[in-house]
């Protein structure tokens, strides 16, 4: 069986709702049609930007994203509002073929909101995030996603120079501070996993 298909089955076995799409346009259109007249929080995510979701959803929802804070709010206030929204949208840093979902955060806003708070969570996952098992997913988070995110955010960390691997730093700007692994679907919220058959984000 194709790995993508197997991941879909494993996620359903863990209690997630799963939708699959061939590309970002089809996924973005579907998500836009699902969400109207709600408050929506978004976590830091290159994938969400690549889908243009902030612009699309802002047309008919109140959207809080610290990367595009409202004029009257700081980025931190926007993170806090996002965590209290009806719906939370983010990507993931890595996922195992068995369906274990791995994320690394700096402030912890994204991993906390994904785990508890908003009653509906959408996790958007491109094909490049898939790893054969949990150790490989953790390795991806440390040696692929985190260095590239440190580079994107212009952090003063050794990994941000080339974005090539983790140097196990003790930098004051170290972004690797809060590691989350969803072993199963957390109780208490509805989870929609959006699998997109192309590379997205880091």
Q: How far is the CB of 137 from ligand SF4 (least distance, A)?
A: 15
Pick 175 or 195: Cβ nearer ligand SF4: 175
Which of 117, 158, 163, 186 contacts ligand SF4 by CB under 6 A?
158
In the complex, the smallest distance separating the C-beta of residue 33 from ligand SF4, rounded to whole angstroms, is 37
DSSP 162: H
Residues numbered 86 to 145 that lie near ligand SF4 (CB under 6 A) are: 142
- Among 17, 174, 179, 189, the residue binding ligand SF4 under the rule CB under 6 A is 174
| Listed ranges 12-20, 34-42, 110-118, 173-181: which one lies at the site for ligand SF4 (CB under 6 A) | 173-181
Give me 27's structure tokens.
């996924």
Among 35, 101, 150, 195, binds ligand SF4 (CB under 6 A): 150
SS3 annotation, 121-154: EEEEEEHHHEECCHHHHHHHHHHHHHHHHHHHCC
Segment near ligand SF4 (CB under 6 A); pick from 115-123, 125-133, 171-179, 183-191: 171-179
Please give the biggest Cα pair distance in the chain.
51
How distant, in Å, are the alpha carbons of 137, 139, 142 from that of 169? 20, 16, 11
Which of 6, 86, 152, 167 forms a contact with ligand SF4 (CB under 6 A)?
Answer: 167
For the CB of residue 158, give the shortest distance to ligand SF4 in the complex, in Å. Answer: 5
Tokens of 76: 């931190």
Cα gap 114→145, rounded to integer Å: 18
DSSP classification of residue 98:
T
The CB-of-108 to ligand SF4 minimum distance in angstroms stands at: 15
Kindly report the backbone phi and psi dihedral angles of residue 85, in degrees, each rounded to the nearest multiple of 5, phi listed first.
Answer: -70, 165
Cβ contact 88:113 at 8 Å: yes
Binding site for ligand SF4 (CB under 6 A): 142, 146-147, 150, 157-159, 166-169, 171, 174-176
């Amino acid at each position: 069986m194709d790995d993508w298909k197997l991941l879909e089955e494993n996620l359903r076995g863990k209690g997630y709702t799963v939708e699959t799409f061939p590309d970002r346009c089809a996924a973005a259109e579907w998500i836009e049609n699902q969400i109207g007249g709600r408050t929506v929080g978004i976590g830091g995510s290159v994938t969400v930007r690549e889908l243009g979701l902030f612009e699309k959803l802002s047309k008919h929802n109140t959207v809080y994203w610290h990367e595009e804070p409202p004029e009257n709010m700081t980025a931190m206030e926007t993170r806090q509002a996002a965590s209290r929204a009806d719906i939370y949208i983010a990507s993931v840093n890595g996922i195992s073929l068995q369906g274990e979902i791995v994320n690394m955060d700096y402030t912890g806003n994204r991993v906390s909101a994904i785990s508890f708070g908003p009653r509906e969570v959408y996790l958007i996952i491109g094909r490049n995030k898939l790893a054969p098992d949990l150790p490989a997913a953790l390795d991806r988070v440390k040696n692929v996603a985190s260095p590239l995110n440190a580079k994107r955010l212009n952090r003063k960390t050794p990994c941000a120079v080339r974005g090539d691997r983790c140097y196990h730093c003790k930098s004051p700007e170290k972004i690797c501070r809060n590691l989350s692994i969803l072993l199963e679907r957390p109780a208490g919220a509805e989870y929609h996993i959006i699998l997109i058959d192309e590379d997205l984000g880091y």
